[in-house]
A and B are shown apart, each in its own frame.
Chain A
Amino acid sequence: MAAADLASPQKPDWLSPSEEVEWYKSQYASLEQELLEFQTFSKELETELERELKTLEKEVEGHERNINTLRKKNEGLKYEVDEWKTKFKSSKEEANHVQNQLQKEITELREKNRTAQIRIREMEVSNDDFERNERIVKSSLDDLESKYNMAIERNVMNESEIQMLEQEREELRIELQRFKDELAELKVEAELSEEKYRMARRGTSNPRFQSPMPDAPTTPTSVSPTPRLSRATPSADFSSPTPPSPPISETSTSGSRIPTPHKDHLMTPKASHYRRGLPKGTPKKTPSMANLSDSARKKLIGNAAVAAKNNTNIPGPNSKSLTQIRGLIGQMQRLEKRVQTARSKMPPPAAKTPPRRMSPHLGSSAFLPPSSINLRRNIRNPGSTTSSVTSTSIEERFGSLSRSFGSHMVEAITRTDTPSSRPSSRTSSRQSYSTAGQGVSRPSSRASTSNVSHIPVPEYSSLPASKPRSSIGGLNDDIFATPRRGLTRTESGAHSRAVSTSGGSAIPRRKSMQTIHGGAGSMSASYRRVSGGLNSLNLTDKNAPPVPPVPPTMRRKKLSGVGDA
């Protein structure tokens, strides 16, 4: 159209249609040509474009493909990122948790550590304290231990000392008993001598001489406790008039008879007693005794001899005295017989009694062993206190008798009597004498009296035995307290011995009287008269009233009272 448009404007202004047909023809032809050309060109272009389009399409496709893959990738990555994020979060949480825990643990541990340290410190401190305290306690323990040991030692020493003292006490008791005996004896002696003196003064007139006879019964009454307790018979015997009997022969036989049975029994107990009861005491004693005996024995012997002489001489003047003596001897024999019978009877009951008696006195088993001995002792024991008085009185009687009979008799009797049974304390004292060897050398009067008297005494008092026993202890304690304290054992012993030895002679006796406080024992004085007033000097020395009957009884009573108390 554009070409036509182009040609139209070019259409020249021509007059003929041919020319115009011609021109149109030509115009057409050219236009056709152009169209053809254009068509081909357009075709070419179209193909070209199409080709181009195809390549472009291909390209686009490729791009798209790329984009897809990238997108896919991206998505995957996104997912991954998310994953990591969660992972990280969780791990962080975990870490936080752990950290917290650890922190807690740390603080805990720290706390623990601190407390532990504190505890350690405290423990160290307390340990230190403990250690120190341990040391302190240990040392104080040591102290206490040493003190304790010392105390034990001291205790043992004290105990041994106590034992020794106990023994000493026992010895002293024995000593005291001995003194007591001697005192009694000396008193009797004094009474006798007094009597003798009076007799000598007044002369040997018969009426005067009768006085002793009535005295005889009074004495036993004064001694009432014993006879009462025991049997009445002995007192009756005493009081009974002298039975006629062969004087010398009888006595001698009695003397001889007594020793044999006694010796065996009595010697053994003596030994045992000393060995067991006074193991330590004996050695001490014996020397002293020996010393004493050495000096004292001489005196004794001398005195005894003198006394014997005196005694023997005395009876001479008084014919009545002889008869009395005879009577007494008869009594003695009777008593002896009774003793024998009693002895035979005694054993069973005695066996029971001994332990009771023994225990209080010495507490040692020494006394227990031989039953027979015990028996005897028991029998005698009672006699010692209550009957000691009586015994002394009796002794005196017999003593005077024996004295009159002479020294040979005395010796025999002494042998027998020393071993003869006695109250434990007494026996011991006696025994000690004998051990010292004085038994033989005893003042004749004393020895004889004791011997003879002892035998009878148990006889009466066998029954009341237990009672007097206790009284003995009392007596001992009371009476002997003073000498125990004052004089040492040996000294006192010496004194007493000297005193005892002096029995017969005047001079020593004086001393004895001074040393011994006046008391019992005057009973026998009445009997003593028989022997006659030999030792008249003594009377002057004596403080005690010379009147024989009353005061002695009084004294006796006092004594016995003390014993009972």
Chain B
Amino acid sequence: MDLESRIQTLQNELDLSATTSSSQKKVDPKSWLPRAPARHTLTGHRDPINAVAFHPVFSVVASAAEDATIKVWDWEHGELEQTLKGHTKAVLDLDYGGPKTGVLLASCSHDLTIKLWDPGNEYNCIRTMKGHDHSVSSVRFIPSGSGADFLVSASRDRTLKIWDVSTGYAVKTIQGHVDWVRCVEPSLDGKWMASAGNDQTARIWDTSTNDHKTSLIGHTHVIECIAFAPVAAYPTLSNLAGVKKPPSSTSFNEYLATGSRDKTINLWDSRGTLIKTLTGHDNWVKGIVFHPGGRYLLSCSDDKTIRCWDLSQNGRCVKIIEPAHGHFVTCIKWAPNQTRGGIDGAANGAPSVESPRQNGTPPKIQSELSEMSGIRCVVATGSVDLTVKIWAT
């Protein structure tokens, strides 16, 4: 009896600790990584999924597919909310963002158009922008202090175009790439852009002057994806680069990561030096995303896995979700941080917008804390197996 009771108490303790540990996971999202059983598997698309995008505020995720539709899902409950039809060909990329007054959804397609949808008004298509001479492969809102009034798109006509969201006109055309530009990513403060594509180089541009700043040369195959490192990742990355002092957190273009068809992920600094090559994927790397906590880098690949690389352990692959999908995993996105108050309603959900404010507050710990509180532990992936998976605690 005595023993039994003791067992009982121990069991209780164990249960308690288990629950606390799980709750701790929620408390400490900095080290949270997606785990094998996906919370939701969203099915409905009839063709492979090309891109996913999180709504910056609501628990909404949109997915773009080859079947020329965009589907909007509630990732909290795993339900389909809406299907947007308008494009005539495969939709290649998606992004939420836009002016502070109202979040918009931008989508681009093989049919050479970029469309803007208004989530506030039942996702009506409010604008169709034509101008590219070839398929538009990527579209991003350029964040700025006042919200994203501009949009950058990358196209197979070898140009980048910057569009004014309010008027729908192309403001600038940036030429420089010699082949299909597959991806474009603005830095978190919107002052820089990085683009990469079939010419196997990534280029960094100054958005204000359209000047080509640096080229990142090193990949031996088409670059599929590019990402700026969040400020939170600077310490680990600088450590990895062998630099003693991490760069100031006021610049947002210090480090980048690119994923390529040569099955590697390269980490670069903004001067174009290759810091580290992460090898491990057995097939084309299709998507990369930095953990908002800064410690990890997540990548998805055509080898049907999601891999988590620990940057603090010299880029060791610490976790493999295998198989994450039944087929190629084409895209991965991390849910944007929760916006705290209306002040920094970072339309793009970028953590960057917070950091300038943190600059004023002296200790780093506080910034971390604030960041931590904002991190949402939700990852979405899309796949050729026609499903979108939501990975969450």
Contact = CB atoms under 8 A, between A and B. Distances in A.
Interface of A: 117, 121, 124-125, 128-129, 132, 135-136, 139-140
B156 A135 contact: no
B384 A124 contact: no
Contact of A129 (B90, B327, B328, B384): B90
Interface string B284-304: 000000000000000000100
B98 to A, nearest CB: 27
B110 interface: yes
A125 B135 CA distance: 7
B133 interface: yes
Interface string B311-327: 00000000000000001
B327 A140 contact: yes
Contacts of B328: 135-136, 139
Contacts of A121: 112, 133-135, 156
What secondary structure prevails in chain A residues at the interface with B?
A: helix
B46 to A, nearest CB: 14
Contacts of B135: 121, 124-125, 128
Given A124-B134, A125-B110, A136 B327 contact: yes
Contact of A136 (B89, B110, B384): B384
B48 interface: yes
Given A121-B135, A135-B302, 13 more contacts: A117-B133, A121-B112, A121-B133, A124-B134, A124-B135, A124-B156, A125-B110, A125-B135, A128-B135, A135-B328, A136-B384, A139-B302, A139-B328
B89 A139 contact: no
B140 to A, nearest CB: 21
Contacts of B134: 121, 124
B360 to A, nearest CB: 48
A114 to B, nearest CB: 11
A135 to B, nearest CB: 7
A128 B224 CA distance: 14
12 contacts: A121-B112, A121-B135, A124-B134, A124-B135, A125-B89, A125-B110, A129-B90, A136-B384, A139-B283, A139-B302, A139-B327, A140-B327
Contacts of B112: 121
Contacts of B283: 139
Contacts of B48: 132, 136
Contacts of B66: 129
A128 B180 CA distance: 12
A237 to B, nearest CB: 75
What secondary structure prevails in chain B residues at the interface with A?
A: loop
Across the A-B interface, give the 5 residue pairs with the lowest CB-CB distance, nearest first.
A125-B110, A136-B384, A121-B134, A125-B135, A136-B328
A121 B156 CA distance: 9
Nearest to B156: A124
Nearest to A120: B134
Contacts of B90: 129
Nearest to A132: B48
Contacts of B327: 136, 139-140
Interface in B133-147: 133-135
A269 to B, nearest CB: 57
Interface in B62-90: 66, 89-90
Interface string B23-67: 000000000000000000000000010000000000000000010
Contacts of A139: 283, 302, 327-328
Interface residues of B, number: 15
A135 B66 CA distance: 15
Nearest to A140: B327
A69 to B, nearest CB: 73
Nearest to B135: A125
A548 to B, nearest CB: 60
A125 B134 CA distance: 9
A173 B87 CA distance: 71
A140 B283 CA distance: 13
A121 B134 CA distance: 6
Contacts of A124: 134-135, 156
Contacts of B302: 135, 139
A125 B133 CA distance: 12
A117 B112 CA distance: 13
B258 to A, nearest CB: 20
Contacts of A140: 327
A349 to B, nearest CB: 64
A266 to B, nearest CB: 62
A128 B327 CA distance: 18
B131 to A, nearest CB: 14
A139 B156 CA distance: 26
A86 B30 CA distance: 92
A468 B90 CA distance: 74
Contacts of A136: 48, 327-328, 384
B159 to A, nearest CB: 14
B21 to A, nearest CB: 36
A129 B112 CA distance: 15
A129 B327 CA distance: 16
Contacts of B89: 125
A154 B252 CA distance: 55
A447 B295 CA distance: 84
Contacts of A135: 302, 328
Nearest to A126: B110
A139 B302 CA distance: 9
A139 B66 CA distance: 18
Interface string B134-176: 1100000000000000000000100000000000000000000
A128 B134 CA distance: 12
B181 to A, nearest CB: 14
B184 to A, nearest CB: 18
A117 B157 CA distance: 12
Interface in B83-132: 89-90, 110, 112
A136 B385 CA distance: 10
A150 to B, nearest CB: 15
Nearest to B90: A129
B304 to A, nearest CB: 8
B157 to A, nearest CB: 9
A128 B133 CA distance: 16
Contacts of B156: 121, 124
A129 B48 CA distance: 11
Contacts of A128: 135
A128 B384 CA distance: 15
Nearest to A121: B134
Contacts of A132: 48
A125 B132 CA distance: 14
A121 B90 CA distance: 14
B326 to A, nearest CB: 8
A128 B66 CA distance: 12
B387 to A, nearest CB: 14
Contacts of A117: 133
A141 to B, nearest CB: 12
A128 B89 CA distance: 13
Contacts of B384: 136
Contacts of A125: 89, 110, 135
A139 B325 CA distance: 13
Contacts of A129: 66, 90
A314 B17 CA distance: 81
B208 to A, nearest CB: 31
A124 B283 CA distance: 23
A115 to B, nearest CB: 14
A125 B384 CA distance: 18
Contacts of B110: 125
Nearest to A133: B48
A136 B110 CA distance: 19
A132 B283 CA distance: 13
A125 B327 CA distance: 22
B286 to A, nearest CB: 11
